[in-house]
Amino acid sequence: MAPDSHQHKAALPAAPEGPSTLACPNGAFAHGEAAPVALPGPVIGDDCWILSGPTASGKTALSLLLARRLDAEIVSVDSMAVYRGLDIGTAKPTPAQRAEIPHHVVDIVEPSEIYTVARWLADAAAAVESSRSRGKRVLFVGGTPLYLRALRDGLDPQPPGDPDFRRRLEEEVQQSGTGPLHNRLAAVDPAAAARIHSHDARRIIRALEVVETTGRPLPSSWGSPRPPHPVFARQMMILDQPRRTLRERIDRRVESMFAEGLLEETRAAVGRPGGIGATARQSAGYAEALEVLAGRLTLAQAIALTQQRTRQLAKRQLTWLRSFQSAVWIGA
């Protein structure tokens, strides 16, 4: 359960009285050159609500209840839900649930693609305006910290990418894992390597790409905390569970994922054009399923490792979510 200082009495929200929209702020360019045009993001306001929480905490069930109460459509804040065909391992809402409440930014790219936070901001912005055009409110639902941070703070403009260079690095990850690339990053940008986890393929590749295209390291100021958007102070809810309960929920979910066909789903994704890209293949569950299919893990080992990695993910999510001092924490 979250600390007492973060607990507020939870109640279902009343409908807001007006839109009073506010543009999502963007940060300054961190290199010292003239700032380019800031990256776009959703225009959020009093018709927007945010529901977050660690993985397996029960966000889907609560989000459907809230969406009905608010007369809202849901915008996913989940970096894995964007991938078509990756359903079991991402615990997506069922087709029936999505038929009842429209869900946006779900099933929009192939598993082979690298999906960036900048692209999520653009897709989320389009989803928000689409919902408003139908007279609906918006409920952001998910626990991907990078996306929530970008929604709250905006996203600093970054140097243009090098698709060919990035593609080569993605192929290296598929062949050799992230270790060699993280070592390479440590040699050219030690500060970035210290900040970026050795298994975070997407951020390792991006940091190396910045060095390649600019000749300079990734600025540490990118992603620095800023004052929270007012809507986050008024209309954000975080679903939490007692530690033991969350652990049990995670363990049961992982067992169910494998029992319901995660290996078969992963095998099918490998067979799609382009296979599974570097972003999707590092996700807990799919990474272990790939190891089973390659004969490097037993099923029991894969389940245990996925449970461990998912518990670690939940812990990281909770640590970051506690930075939202005024959010309403909803406990079991």
User: Number of helices (H) and strands (E), helices first, in the chain?
Assistant: 14, 8
Tell me whether residue 140 is in a domain: yes
CA-derived radius of gyration, the chain: 20
In a domain, 298, yes or no: yes
- CATH number assigned to the domain comprising residue 74: 3.40.50.300
pLDDT given at position 332: 57
Q: Is residue 237 domain-shared with residue 254, that is, in the same domain?
A: no
* CA 150 vs CA 27, 114, 145, 186, 193: distances in Å: 10, 17, 8, 26, 21
Tell me whether residue 318 is in a domain: no
The better pLDDT of the pair 161, 288 is held by: 288
Lowest mean pLDDT of 82-86, 174-178, 209-213, name the range.
Answer: 209-213
Question: Does position 32 have pLDDT exceeding 80, yes or no?
Answer: no
Indicate whether 4 pLDDT > 50. Answer: no
Share above pLDDT 90 across residues of the chain, in percent, rounded to a whole number: 56
- Give the pLDDT confidence score for residue 278 in this predicted structure: 84
Measure the CA dihedral 140/65/104/229, to 10°.
Answer: -10
Which CATH number goes with the domain that contains 178? 1.10.20.140
Lowest mean pLDDT across 25-34, 62-71, 175-184, 231-240: 25-34
Q: Which residue has the tokens 């050219």?
A: 188
Judgement on whether residues 36 and 69 belong to the same structural domain of the protein: yes
Q: Is 193 in contact with 173 (CB distance < 8 Å)?
A: no
> 26 versus 7: which is more confidently predicted?
7
Q: Whole-prediction pTM value?
A: 0.73
221 pLDDT tier (thresholds 50, 70, 90): low
Determine the straight-line distance between the first and last CA of the chain, rounded to whole angstroms. Answer: 9
What average pLDDT does this structure show over 301-315?
A: 96
CB 63 within 8 A of CB 91: no
285, two tokens: 């569950």
**Does 38 have pLDDT greater than 60?**
no
Residue 7 has pLDDT above 80, yes or no: no
- Partners of 137 in the beta sheet? 72
Q: Are residues 188 and 199 in the same domain?
A: yes
Average pLDDT, the chain: 84
Same domain, 236 and 113: yes
pLDDT for 153-184, tens place per residue? Answer: 777 666 666 778 888 898 898 888 999 999 99
The answer to whether position 317 is within a domain reads no
Domain count, the chain: 3
List pLDDT tens digits, range 91-127.
999 999 999 999 999 999 999 998 989 899 999 999 9
Q: Are residues 21 and 130 in the same domain?
A: yes
Indicate if 139 and 175 belong to the same structural domain. Answer: no
Q: Rounded distance, CA 196 to CA 204, Å?
A: 7
> Cα 27–16–46 angle (5° rounding)?
10
Say whether both 136 and 101 belong to one domain. yes
Mean pLDDT of 126-140: 97
Instruction: Clarify whether residues 33 and 152 are in a common domain.
Output: yes
When pLDDT is averaged across residues 308-323 and rounded to a whole number, the result is 92
Examine the pLDDT at 300 and tell me if it is beyond 60: yes
pLDDT higher than threshold 70 for residue 226: no
User: What pLDDT does residue 311 have?
Assistant: 96
Nearest to 232 by CA among 323, 155, 117, 161: 323
- Same-domain check for residues 192 and 150: no
| 320 is a domain residue | no
Q: Is residue 220 part of a domain?
A: no
pLDDT reported for residue 69: 97
Q: Quick one: average pLDDT of 300-315?
A: 96
Name the residue range of residue 274's domain.
Answer: 244-312
Backbone angles phi, psi at 220, to 5 degrees: -70, -15
Residue 319 lies in a domain: no
Whether residue 147 sits in one domain with residue 52: yes
User: In the block, which residue shows the tokens 């429209």?
Assistant: 102
Higher confidence at residue 332 or residue 218?
218
Confidence (pLDDT) at 209: 86
